Chains A and B, each alone.
Chain A
């Protein structure tokens, strides 16, 4: 029984992290049809931000990392994605792929290929024993952060004037512009939110692994892609559902795979996702969105 509860706890924390990773990808795709490969590099930038300021105090480091990553996200949109905004989704995807590769190698030149270790408070790395079930402080932190971020995003999208503009833009970009919604502002805001979410995810990842390195954005962005694809491209609820399912099947495969096969767990997870796509090519919650 404790095994099952332990697995549920693990799955919950993993799904929360995956949701934090998948949301910004789904959000940007919803607004401008861009699947952003470079989202992973935003996570990397935030992690290096934490590294640069970790020596001072942690709250300051977190704040500075968030500022840095939001600025980076805005700059990325302005420099690379605005010029190709009206191109096909394919072109957008390839552009983001190039941007991602560019940032990764810039980081390699600046910081070198060795991971930079970042010390985080020991209170974050302890784990609690609740009746035979081990709960890491990080796991609790992840779930809390995910709930706060998702809750905040939902409130913002439904209640604030700007959030409603964003939803309108996601629904029909041209029409939204015709009724006076400023396209540039909406897209910039989306990137700022995506940057902030990348910062939050980076904090969790850094607490988990204790380091920052140039290629650290890769695994998160792949998870985000797979989750949004399985949930249905262009649907925020789909992305959350995809992240949840991905978390559950990852923990599930951890339980059932034998010792030798466990290193290749991700292969099984993505294989399972491909099987889902065999049945539902447009994802679990398909969106009938027509991009302009």
Chain B
């Protein structure tokens, strides 16, 4: 019994966050189709930002290029799911094995995620060796390279023209499953020895290296994991849109996801989940104002909020803390703030109280 309780408590944060997302999934469709679509996009964003967090948050190096994995996943997933007949007229110059491929969504997810992970593994060879700031900028160069390739490889991607005819398999439940799956994978990674080593290097590069952490190796692992996750989200997102262009995985999305992560807080999984939810509400509000100002207000407002967060609360709204019922309970029982965020410590405190 206590063993089971311990296991559940260890997974408390992702379970609580999943319950919140589940609630959204239950409630949103009853508020009409437009709200349901917003909820789907929000759930996809949660999965996306959680994927971004698995590198940017855990390593402490914000990257400007992770959306390249999303583009790779989206195009790979779309090319193997568009019906063979449609492909014949859309993309007549497609190589044979792609022209005749038509697989289900789960297989497409495996292919898209796998390809993005492979790409991440290849680029990690030079990228993971770079010092922090140069790494951010080099990833930006990777994003531009991917965009250029997608926008010009006409026979494979239709270039700047929209790729259409992608089956729209992504329901709100698929989006929910993606978000929850991403959260559990990243939480497991975060608590594993790999995640711990990466986080140690984030806190203090020199001390971590001195205790035997191979930072380059840990960053490489993290790049591949985040690449795979974001690739999967790319597949799912493409199957939601049905029609997309290379621009959908470029600068606007890069900015939006970074804003979500920064506003939520780069240093906890909870931040990566809360951020997209807050931004969804914020952009919805700002969009109502755009009828007056014309397009752009949404982005301006979001940028201002982001600068304010960076100035007044640089670690984001969650400030590096995870959502935990046990913390709340202990805090309540002890009648004072428990500043300790480590789950094992809190567990001990719980037992001691009992």
Residues of A within 8 A of B (CB): 35, 80, 83-84, 87, 89-91, 93-95, 97-99, 101-102, 104-106, 108-109, 113, 218, 222, 225-226, 229, 233, 263-264, 266-267, 270-271, 273-275, 277-278, 281-283
Main secondary structure of the interface of B (DSSP, over half): helix
CB pair A233 B134 closer than 8 Å: yes
Chain B, Cβ-Cβ closest to A34: B133
Asked if A93 contacts B62 (CB within 8 A), the reply is yes
Contact of B125 among A83, A94, A101, A278 (CB under 8 A): A278
Bound together, the chains give a CA A93 to CA B306 distance in angstroms of 13
Provide the residues of chain B in CB contact with A225, threshold 8 Å: 137, 140-141
CB distance from A231 to the nearest CB of B (A): 11
CB-nearest residue of chain B to A228:
B137
Decide: B303 and A99 in contact? CB cutoff 8 A.
Answer: yes
CB-based A-B contact count at 8 angstroms: 126
Give bound CA distance, A97 to B304, whole Å. Answer: 11
Interface of chain A, helix or strand or loop or mixed? helix
CA distance A2 to B304 in the complex (A): 53
Contacts A101-B299, A109-B294, A275-B126; A267 near B144 (Cβ below 8 A): yes
Measured between alpha carbons, how far is A180 from B261 in the docked complex, in Å?
Answer: 40
Whole-angstrom distance between the alpha carbons of A225 and B302 in the complex?
25
What 4 A-B pairs have minimum CB-CB distances, sorted nearest first? A102-B303, A278-B126, A267-B148, A105-B299
| Contact of B79 with A by CB under 8 A | no
Which single residue of chain B is at the shortest CB-CB distance from A215? B251
What are 29 inter-chain pairs, A to B, with CB distance below 8 A? A84-B311, A87-B310, A89-B132, A89-B133, A90-B61, A93-B133, A94-B306, A95-B307, A97-B258, A99-B307, A104-B299, A105-B297, A106-B296, A109-B294, A222-B140, A222-B144, A225-B137, A264-B151, A264-B152, A266-B148, A267-B144, A267-B148, A271-B145, A274-B123, A274-B126, A277-B126, A277-B129, A278-B126, A283-B134
Binding site for A on B (CB under 8 A): 60-62, 64, 123, 125-127, 129-134, 136-138, 140-142, 144-145, 148-149, 151-153, 251, 255, 258-259, 262, 293-297, 299-300, 302-304, 306-307, 310-311, 314
Closest Cβ–Cβ distance, residue A168 to chain B (whole Å): 23
Report if A84-B126 is in contact (Cβ < 8 Å); known contacts: A97-B64, A277-B138.
Answer: no
- Does A80 lie within 8 Å of B152, measured CB to CB? no
Quick check: B133 and A273 within 8 Å, CB to CB?
A: no
Query: Chain B nearest CB: distance from A207 CB in Å?
Result: 25
CB distance B262 to A105 under 8 Å? no
- In the docked arrangement, what's the CA distance between A92 and B293, Å? 30
Q: Which of A93, A105, A233 contacts B303 (CB 8 A)?
A: A105
Q: Looking at the complex, which one of A84, A101, A226 makes contact with B310 (CB distance below 8 Å)?
A: A84
Complex contacts, A106 vs chain B, CB 8 Å: 296, 300
CB closest chain-B residue, reference A214 = B296
- Known contacts A106-B296, A229-B138, A277-B130; A91/B251 CB under 8 A: no
Whether B134 and A281, one on each chain, are in contact in the complex, defined by CB atoms closer than 8 angstroms, is yes
A94 touches B300 (CB 8 A): no
